[in-house]
Amino acid sequence: MLVRDKNFNNIKIHTQYSICEGAIKIDELAEYCKLNKIKSIGLADSYNLCGALEFSEKLSKVGTQPIIGTQINIFAHNIIGKITLYATSEKGYKNLTKLSSLSYLKNKETEEPSCTINDLITNNEDLILLTGNYYNFFGKLFYANKNKDFEKTIKLLKSHFKDRLYLEIQRHGENAEKNFENHLLNVSKIFDIHLIATQEVFYIKNEMYEAHDALTCIGEKNFVEDNNRFKYSNQHYLKNNEELLKLYSDIPEALENNYNFHQRFNYKPKKSKPILPSIANEQDSTPEEALIKLANLGLKDRIKNFILKRSKNKSEDQIQSIYEDRLSHELGIINSMDYASYFLIVSDYIKWAKKKFHTSRSW
């Protein structure tokens, strides 16, 4: 296959779900992929998978293979920073969601969400790890002159991730990239780790640079005119294939690994029905039967204590018939949609809240 026939995989897409970082709407991305016949594209939102299902559904519909990933923080060696993880299977996706959740659950609300290296290793099955750029975890280690910790961590991860670990080469024309790239090239040779060419994509068209710059200022609580703030270059738009092949032409290994990256994936998240616990008691065989029983008991109580006292124009039999028909209709809809467990759970919450309220009032 000729080089011009190969396609660069933009696997570091940051959508609007990367709060105050990404500015790409998934609908607009899907339209772009459709018009430009993009074969595959990867999601890498920071700290969450909120857009994963929408990304998967809408990109698949236009014939583009979705690659699902996220960026999470790692805390080690007194450094906190991002790495990128991608799920190659359903098992990998479960590990991805687990790590994303752990990063929030294990830390205080005032701290940045993060995982440990041990968390990463324990849940590494069917995940691909990319090391990130100069302002992510490994870049911070490098610029903090913690090269021993850098090499120790890379060696540890290589022993567990094997060929699912990549060192990222990124070129956005930013000053700190070159020194970090040279270091990665050396590390790649020493530890025999794959290189891969990637781009951090925050917006689709290059004319969106100023708007995105203002967005990052909002996220960092800075002013646009502040000369001392962190500032991205204007090269974080969705470049076309020709631009990227030219940009990385001197590192064919990193390009080749990018071309083939999409072949490692055969999974995408799909829509599923809500999974609710069954809270029917032992006397009721199904949640639907439990709901019907409780609803009818509740109706009898309301008719006796409220409705009959206020309805003087209708007989008790007429009132009973009207409300039983109405309840039967409502229960039919609820049960046909498999929402019986949901209503039983909500009922349980309300009963508990009323009990607590009355208890507190008696003090």
Three-state SS at 253: helix
Residue 250 vs residues 37, 231, 256: alpha-carbon distances, Å: 26, 27, 12
Provide the residue-wise pLDDT of the chain in tens; the chain has 363 residues. Answer: 445 558 999 999 999 999 999 999 999 999 999 999 999 999 999 999 999 999 999 999 999 999 999 999 999 999 999 999 999 999 999 999 999 999 999 877 768 899 999 999 999 999 999 999 999 999 999 999 999 999 999 999 999 999 999 999 999 999 999 999 999 999 999 999 999 999 999 999 999 999 999 999 999 889 999 988 989 999 999 999 999 999 999 999 999 999 999 999 989 898 877 676 667 666 667 888 889 999 999 999 888 888 877 777 778 788 888 999 999 999 999 999 888 888 999 998 898 998 887 666 655
Written as one string, the DSSP assignment of 211-231 is HHHHHHHHHHT--TT-TTS--
CATH of domain 3-264: 3.20.20.140
Residue 267's nearest CA partner among 59, 33, 91, 41 is: 91
Q: Which has the closest alpha carbon to 167: 141, 145, 144?
A: 141
Could you tell me which of 288, 296, 289 has the C-alpha nearest to residue 337? Answer: 288
Q: Which DSSP letter does residue 5 get?
A: G
Give SS3 for 290. Answer: helix
pTM for this one?
0.79
Q: List the structure tokens of 319.
A: 């009132």
Q: How far apart are CA 352 and CA 189, in angstroms?
A: 62
Task: Output DSSP code: residue 129.
Answer: E
Q: How many angstroms from the chain centroid is the CA of residue 38?
A: 22
